[in-house]
Structure 1
Amino acid sequence: MPLSTHTALPLLSSFFGTIFTGLGLYYILQPRSAFLAFGLPAISSLPSTSASISNDAIMDAVMVMYGARDLFMGVAILGAAWLGRTGQKGRRNVNLGGLLVAGSLCAGVDGWVVRSVVGEGEWNHWGYGGVMGMLGCVVLGIFG
């Protein structure tokens, strides 16, 4: 039996789907504290852009948009893990594998952005992103 058909893969994939879903809700419901938790500097330390639009309002909006992205990724991963159709090669779930790899690429970009702004903190994103990408490759049958 190839590793890509192991019965634990939906459970492991659900772990990452749950993380994305939880973070998405957190970013939408608490954008200011989520901004700090993301690894970026406090909004109040950023220079003001305009008298009519505050940095706080801009960053609240950005974090809600970011939360919507994470919420989508989490629900998509969970849906593919539990409701998705399998590919033509046995029980391999090609959609789930692709979503996990795509999510790991998002984490890679997130880490790159945090590092370019703060100078550190990239591994808070690259750590789980690398594991998620490897899991996606296992689900796709690339590794096993």
Structure 2
Amino acid sequence: MPAIGNEDLNPLPDMLHLGAYPDTKPWLECCSSLLDLNHDLKEYLTNLNTMALSIILRFCPNIFGAIFIGFGINALLRPSHALTFYRPFSLPTAPSDKALVEALMTIYGARDIFMGLSMYAASYHRNYKTLGWIVIAGSGVAFVDGWVCYKAGGGQADHWGYAPVHTIVGTLLALGY
């Protein structure tokens, strides 16, 4: 009986090294990606402050989305009440004017519901850079709403107060924090 050496017990590494089997490339790539994953995990765990900030930043848009959806539903169901968020304006008494304002409030409600749902969708699918850009777009919506109130005579601070918060949170998410 011939003697069995160590090289006979495990010939696979030599075959992989020599390229004896062409189907081994995916296996090698898998091992390489596991090593990269281990390195990334160590790097991520060393930055606990960044991780804590990320959790907060990724939760805030869910609150923003709920607020947008709430305002949108309010505008669809109670247009005259939703109009009170634009202080100088009130619901007109003429039937044709009232119908026009209610139609515009429907557009406003649909816009807000869309903004909230888009935040939820990006958050659900964990696409945080896209979520950041959606939150930045939400700050643009708040700025324009405030500008409309400013041009009409007041109430702009109600809208401009939260626009910078959206901008900061959205920018940090878009940058990858």
TM-score band, normalised by shorter chain: 0.7 to 0.9
Which amino acid is the alignment partner of residue 21 of structure 1?
I
Counting aligned pairs with the same residue, the percent is 33
Match 1:68 to one of 97, 110, 114:
110
Distance (whole Å) between structure 2 residues aligned to residue 64 and residue 40 of structure 1? 19
- Post-superposition offset of 1:13: 1.1
- Post-superposition offset of 1:40: 3.7
Aligned pairs (5 A) from 1:48-127: 54-85=96-127, 93-117=128-152, 119-127=153-161
The question of whether the paired residues in 1 share the 8 Å contact of 2:76 and 2:105 is answered with yes
Q: Deviations over 1:102-129 (max 9, x none)?
A: 1101110110001101x22111111111
Q: Which residue of 2 aligns with 1:31?
A: 79
- Post-superposition offset of 1:3: 4.1
Larger radius of gyration: 2
Which amino acid is the alignment partner of residue 133 of structure 2?
G
**DSSP 3-state at the match of 2:89:** coil
Normalised by the size of structure 1, how large is the TM-score? 0.80
| More helix per residue | 2
Match 1:131 to one of 150, 165, 171:
165
**DSSP 3-state at the match of 1:43:** coil
Q: Deviations over 1:50-92 (max 9, x none)?
A: xxx611100000001100000000010111122243xxxxxxx
**Structure 2 gap ranges (5+):** 1-46
Q: Say whether 1:6 aligns with 2:54.
A: yes
Distance (whole Å) between structure 2 residues aligned to residue 40 and residue 84 of structure 1? 40
Normalised by the size of structure 2, how large is the TM-score? 0.66
Distance (whole Å) between structure 2 residues aligned to residue 134 and residue 7 of structure 1? 15
Distance (whole Å) between structure 1 residues aligned to residue 60 and residue 70 of structure 2? 16
Which amino acid is the alignment partner of residue 127 of structure 1?
G
The question of whether the paired residues in 2 share the 8 Å contact of 1:3 and 1:141 is answered with no
The question of whether the paired residues in 1 share the 8 Å contact of 2:58 and 2:173 is answered with no
Moved over 6 A (4+): none
Distance (whole Å) between structure 1 residues aligned to residue 87 and residue 137 of structure 2? 21
